[in-house]
Amino acid sequence: DATTGGTAAARPQWSSRLAFILAATGSAVGLGNIWKFPYITGENGGGAFVLVYLACIAVIGLPILAAEVLLGRRGGHSPIRSMAQLCRRDGASGGWAWVAWMGFVAAFVLLSFYSVVGGWSLAYIGHAARGAFAGANAEAIGGMFGGMLSSPGTLLLWHTVFMLMVVAIVGAGLRAGMERAINTLMPLLFVLLLVLVGYAMVRGDFGRGLEFLFAPDFSKLSTEGVLTALGHAFFTLSTGICVMMAYGSFLPKEVNVARTVVTIGVLDTLVALLAGLAIFPLVFANGLEPGAGPGLIFVTLPLAFGQMTGGVVFGTLFFALLLVAAITSAISMIEPVVEWLEDRGVARKLGALLSGSLIWALGICTVLSFNHWADFHPLGFLSRFEGKTLFDLFDFLVSNLALPLGGLTIALYAGWVMKADILREQIGLGDGAVFELFRFVLRFLSPAAVLVVFVYNLV
């Protein structure tokens, strides 16, 4: 292949534009939509936060996601090799390629704790299905969550099962493994979600749920809330750590990147909002608090299911939904690592097993952060990190540093280093004002916004 510098074997491609959309949507739709979005919305008072979040997705998240995908397609290799080659072709310093190295490390660390939380969904499918929530009071349900966290064996078991599923899917290959799994899991995800929203309509206080999510009350929105919304825009779209660059490398040339990325953003947003509509009506109908934080779906929601007709069935379906969402994201995180090994001649199966084992081992740090190492605060001497466990630090490293910093670098590269003609041809927005606006956002607006979040997060 003359343009990318001559590798012998033809690289596999997604079988269609739809296959890419489903895979990228699978990456985007994850714990971020079903777990995090509802609880940060709850903590930040609802409607006004949702509006700001939507604006952040549209104005800052999507342009950067588009840049990341088109860089991946142009590069046509693992992110690390792609970025190195693009720098050469664009006559830029090879230093830009560090974004792919950072992404590599970040995806590795991210999966190590994402898998532990993904494992919680496995544990909770079990709890829900055997009726453990039925009639239980707040203390019992809180104890169930606390009991899981305090048991390293339980956490390790589910973390292991989760990682095995990820390795099995990714190891089977792009089409036979990932595409096949995604083609089954994504439709299932949408069906489950719609069923759960239907349940919330019938059994929940749907009106209050709608009002909470969509009636903005700006007095409830703090600066912190705005920055949380912006930070979450990166996380939810999976953009900034070169995971979407890896997926983009399999994207056929004729696919329009702009249109595809908008579809992904709309679907991701839709799932987050629908998850809110599946959760909050049940919370309100049972007189519970929307602002419970991370325990919203593991404590508050089970309490609601435990008091409701059909709670066993629909509670089980809810945690199955969470599992499906988490798995399709997890496979995207290990992909850049496996691709990097493939670039070095390691077969995919072995590469998946090898990287999966290392990530699994690192995950043990997260497992222990909830129990034996709960009082181990490695950076506790810095007031910014007081009381933070290893898991908190991993999360901070990925969500607050790597994702925004990577997004910033990608925006700057596409906006300033790439020639406008190449960018124009790759993005597929025509050559009018819309393209100019897109380039302006990449050059000025997104970098400025990211810098603000970044500085705020550090101090």
Residues that bind ligand PFF (CB under 6 A): 27-28, 30-33, 107, 110, 235-236, 238, 241, 243, 329, 332-333
> Cβ of residue 238: shortest distance to ligand PFF, in angstroms?
4
Q: Which is nearer to ligand PFF, 115 or 389 (CB)?
A: 115
| Interface segment toward Na ion; rule CB under 5 A; list 24-32, 138-146, 161-169, 204-212 | 24-32
Residue among 22, 28, 243, 330 that touches Na ion (CB under 5 A): 28
Q: Which is nearer to ligand PFF, 33 or 82 (CB)?
A: 33
Question: Contact between 302 and Na ion (CB under 5 A)?
Answer: no
Question: Contact between 75 and Na ion (CB under 5 A)?
Answer: no
If contact means CB under 5 to 8 A according to the sort of partner, which of ligand PFF, Na ion, none does residue 68 touch?
none
Number of residues that bind Na ion (CB under 5 A): 5
Question: Contact between 446 and Na ion (CB under 5 A)?
Answer: no
Q: Which is nearer to ligand PFF, 45 or 336 (CB)?
A: 336
> Cβ of residue 306: shortest distance to ligand PFF, in angstroms?
26
How many other CB atoms are found less than 10 A from the CB of residue 381?
Answer: 8
Sole residue written with tokens 């239980």 = 136
Three-state secondary structure along the chain?
A: CHHHCCCCCCCCCCCCHHHHHHHHHHHHCCHHHHHHHHHHHHHCCCHHHHHHHHHHHHHHHHHHHHHHHHHHHHHCCCHHHHHHHHHHHCCCCHHHHHHHHHHHHHHHHHHHHHHHHHHHHHHHHHHHHCCCCCCCCHHHHHHHHHHHHHCHHHHHHHHHHHHHHHHHHHHCCHHHHHHHHHHHHHHHHHHHHHHHHHHHHHHCCHHHHHHHHHCCCHHHCCHHHHHHHHHHHHHHHCCCCCHHHHHHCCCCCCCCHHHHHHHHHHHHHHHHHHHHHHHHHHHHHCCCCCCCHHHHHHHHHHHHHHCCCCHHHHHHHHHHHHHHHHHHHHHHHHHHHHHHHHHCCCCHHHHHHHHHHHHHHHHHHHHHHCCCCCCCCCCCCCHHHCCCCHHHHHHHHHHHHHHHHHHHHHHHHHHHHCCHHHHHHHHCCCCCHHHHHHHHHHHHHHHHHHHHHHHHHHC
Burial code (b: 16+ CB inside 10 Å, e: under 16) for 256-276 equals ebbebbebbbebbbebbbbbb
Map residues 77-96 to x or -, x wherever contact with Na ion holds by CB under 5 A.
Answer: --------------------
Position 257: which residue type?
Answer: V
> Cβ of residue 309: shortest distance to Na ion, in angstroms?
31
User: What is the sign, positive or negative, of the torsion defined by CA atoms of 165, 168, 171, 177?
Assistant: negative
| Interface segment toward Na ion; rule CB under 5 A; list 21-29, 74-82, 315-323, 403-411 | 21-29
> Cβ of residue 40: shortest distance to Na ion, in angstroms?
12
> Cβ of residue 372: shortest distance to ligand PFF, in angstroms?
27
Tokens of residue 26, six digits: 């699978």
Q: Which is nearer to Na ion, 33 or 239 (CB)?
A: 33
310: left (phi over 0), alpha (psi -120 to 50) or beta: left
Question: Contact between 243 and Na ion (CB under 5 A)?
Answer: no
> Cβ of residue 236: shortest distance to Na ion, in angstroms?
3
If contact means CB under 5 to 8 A according to the sort of partner, which of ligand PFF, Na ion, none does residue 332 touch?
ligand PFF
Q: Which is nearer to Na ion, 32 or 38 (CB)?
A: 32
Question: Contact between 26 and Na ion (CB under 5 A)?
Answer: no
If contact means CB under 5 to 8 A according to the sort of partner, which of ligand PFF, Na ion, none does residue 249 touch?
none
Please enumerate in sequence order all residues whose Cβ is within 8 A of that of 406, keeping only pairs 6 or more positions apart, or say none: 99, 102, 103, 106, 239, 240, 241, 242
What distance in Å separates the CA atoms of residue 415 and residue 202, rounded to the nearest whole number?
Answer: 49
> Cβ of residue 327: shortest distance to ligand PFF, in angstroms?
11
Q: Which is nearer to ligand PFF, 296 or 312 (CB)?
A: 296
> Cβ of residue 66: shortest distance to ligand PFF, in angstroms?
16
Which position's Cβ is nearest ligand PFF? Answer: 32
> Cβ of residue 24: shortest distance to Na ion, in angstroms?
11
Q: Which is nearer to Na ion, 112 or 328 (CB)?
A: 328
Q: Which is nearer to ligand PFF, 114 or 199 (CB)?
A: 114
> Cβ of residue 106: shortest distance to ligand PFF, in angstroms?
8
At 195, phi and psi to the nearest 5? -60, -40
If contact means CB under 5 to 8 A according to the sort of partner, which of ligand PFF, Na ion, none does residue 399 touch?
none
Q: Which is nearer to ligand PFF, 28 or 341 (CB)?
A: 28
Residue among 27, 33, 82, 426 that touches Na ion (CB under 5 A): 33
Q: Which is nearer to ligand PFF, 102 or 283 (CB)?
A: 102
> Cβ of residue 320: shortest distance to Na ion, in angstroms?
18
Q: Which is nearer to ligand PFF, 286 or 332 (CB)?
A: 332
Binding stretches for Na ion (CB under 5 A):
28, 32-33, 236, 268
